[in-house]
Structure 1
Amino acid sequence: MISVVIPTFNEEENIAQCLVSLTHQTIPRTEYEIIVVDGGSKDNTCEIARKYADKVFTQTSRKVGGARNDGVMAARGDIIATTDADCILPPGWIKRIADDFAADPRLVQLYGPVYPIEEGLRNKFSLFLANTFSRIGYYSRTFYYTLGCNTAFRKGAFIKAGGYRCIDAGDDLEIAMRLNDLGKITFDGRLKVGFSMRRYQQFGTLQSLYEWVYIVADGGETDKYSYTRKDYKG
C-alpha cells in the first residue's frame, strides 16, 4: 500500500481539488490511503478533507516537516508519498510511484518536477528554472532539490533517517542528504505535479526566493522571516 500524506493549514479554497485529483488515480482506491495532517486550521479545511481522506487529524509536532512526520507515523503503507494541499496530482501519479519503487529495491527516495497550475509565461519560466535546478543537482550528484509537494520514500528508510527536521525551510533538501546514505535517490521526469504559484504571485517571486534562501542559509529557522503558515488571498 502507498500512503499519501498532506499537511494543511487554512486550505478550504484548495484542498478539495487536491483530494479529488487523488481520488481519480489509475490504480484502485484500495491500494492507497490519503492522510491529511492539519496545523490547526480556523476554516473548513478539515470538514472538507473528511469527505475524501481516510484519516484527518491535527498535528502534534512542529511546522510542516513535523506534520509530515506525524502523517508517516499514522500511515499503513510501506511507501509514503507527500504533496501539498494546493497541488493537483495527475491520474498516473501514484501508479508511477509504485512502479518506480517496485522496479528498484535499492530506491529509498523518489522525486519529480512540477508545472504551474496558474496560467502565465512568468509562472512557466519560474518552474522551468526550478526543474532545471533539480535536474542539474541530480545528474551532477551534488545535491537533491527534492520538493515536499512531489516526493516519496520507503517508510523504513524515512524512519531510520530520522524523518523531516521541524524547520521553516529546507527540510525537504536536508532529508535527502541523510537518505542518500541509506540507498538510492532517483529523479523521475515523468513524475509531474501541478504546483500552485499563489505564494509567488502574492508575495513576489524574488522576495519569496530570497526569504527561502535566507532561512535555509540560517539553518532552517530565523526570526526575520516566516516562510510557512502564511495567509493567502486565494
Structure 2
Amino acid sequence: MISVVIPTFNEEENIAQCLVSLCHQTVPRSEYEIIVVDGGSKDATCEIARKYADHVFIQTSKKVGGARNDGVNAAKGGIIATTDADCILPPHWIKRIGEDFRNPALVQIYGPVYPIEEGLRNRFSLLLANTFSRIGYYSQTFYYTLGCNTAFRKEAFLKAGMYRCIDAGDDLEIAMRLKDLGSIKFDEKLKVGFSMRRYKQFGTIQSLYEWISIVSDGGESGKYSYTQKRYK
C-alpha cells in the first residue's frame, strides 16, 4: 500500500480539488490511502477532507515537518508519498510511484512541477525551479525534493530520523540524510500541478534562495514566514 500524507491549514478553497484528483487515480482505491493532517484550521478544511480522505486528524507535532511526521506515524503503507493541499495530482501519479519503487535500491523519489494557474510568467518560474532540481540531481550536489511531489520508503524514512520540525526546508533537508541509506531518483514523469500563490507572494528567485539558505543553516533562520505562520 502507498500512503499519501497531506498537511493542511485553512485550505477550504483548495483541498477538494486536490483530494478529488487523488481519488481518480489509475490504480484501485484499495491500493493507497489518503491521510490529511490538519494544523488547526478555522475554516471547513477538515469537513471537506473527511468526504474524500481515509484519515483526517489534528497534528500534535510542531510545524509542517511535524504534521508530515504525524501522518507517517499513522500510515499503513510501506511507501509514503507527500503532497500539498493546493496541488493537483495527475491520474497516473500513484501508479508511477509504485513502478519506481520496484527498484529495491531506491529510498526516495521526486519529480518536477507545473503551474496550475495560466500565464507565461508562471511557466517560466517553474521552468527555473525544475531546472534547479535537475542541476542538483544530475550534479549530485543537492536534491530539491519538494514536499508537494516526493515519496520514500517508510522504513528508510524512520531510520533517517524523519522530518525535522523546522520553520521550512524540512522537505529538502530529509534527502540529505536519506541519500546515505540508498538511492534517490528524480523522475521526469512524476509531475504534479503546483499552485503559484507562494511564488507570487515571495518571487521565484527569492523563493529558491530562501529554501536553500534555510537548508544550509539547518532550518534555524525562520526566514520563510509563510510556512512559519501556517504551522506553529
Q: Do these two structures clear the TM 0.5 threshold for a shared fold by scoring above it?
A: yes
Give the Cα–Cα distance (whole angstroms) in 1 for the partners of residues 189 and 224 of structure 2. Answer: 34
Give the Cα–Cα distance (whole angstroms) in 1 for the partners of residues 224 and 32 of structure 2. Answer: 37
Contact 1:146 1:173 in 2 (8 A): yes
Return the offset for 1:227: 3.1
Change (3 A) 1:223 1:34: closer
Give the Cα–Cα distance (whole angstroms) in 2 for the partners of residues 223 and 189 of structure 1. Answer: 31
Q: Which runs of 5+ in 1 are unaligned?
A: none
Aligned residue pair count: 230
2:135 alignment partner in structure 1: 136
What is the identity, as a one-letter code, of the residue corresponding to 2:59? Q
What is the identity, as a one-letter code, of the residue corresponding to 1:80? I
- Whether 1:91 aligns to 2:116 is no
Give the Cα–Cα distance (whole angstroms) in 2 for the partners of residues 221 and 213 of structure 1. Answer: 12
2:196 alignment partner in structure 1: 197
Change (3 A) 1:58 1:106: same
1:171 alignment partner in structure 2: 170
Return the offset for 1:205: 3.6
Change (3 A) 1:182 1:214: closer
Return the offset for 1:210: 4.8
Contact 2:168 2:222 in 1 (8 A): no
Return the offset for 1:173: 1.5
1:53 alignment partner in structure 2: 53
Return the offset for 1:214: 4.7
Report SS of the residue matched to 1:167.
coil
Contact 2:110 2:187 in 1 (8 A): yes
Q: TM-score, normalised by structure 1?
A: 0.93
Q: Which moved more, 1:78-87 or 1:161-170?
A: 161-170
Q: Give the alignment's Cα RMSD to 1 decimal.
A: 1.6
Give the Cα–Cα distance (whole angstroms) in 2 for the partners of residues 210 and 32 of structure 1. Answer: 35
Q: Which deviations, in whole Å up to 9, do the C-alpha atoms of 1:113-141 show, x marking residues without a partner?
A: 00000011111011101111111111111
1:25 alignment partner in structure 2: 25
2:106 alignment partner in structure 1: 107
Q: TM-score, normalised by structure 2?
A: 0.94
Q: Which deviations, in whole Å up to 9, do the C-alpha atoms of 1:179-225 show, x marking residues without a partner?
A: 00101111100000000001122444445445445544443133565
Change (3 A) 1:141 1:202: closer
1:120 alignment partner in structure 2: 119
Q: Which deviations, in whole Å up to 9, do the C-alpha atoms of 1:26-52 show, x marking residues without a partner?
A: 000000000000001010000000000
Give the Cα–Cα distance (whole angstroms) in 2 for the partners of residues 126 and 81 of structure 1. Answer: 24
Give the Cα–Cα distance (whole angstroms) in 1 for the partners of residues 128 and 24 of structure 2. Answer: 29
Give the Cα–Cα distance (whole angstroms) in 1 for the partners of residues 141 and 31 of structure 2. Answer: 35
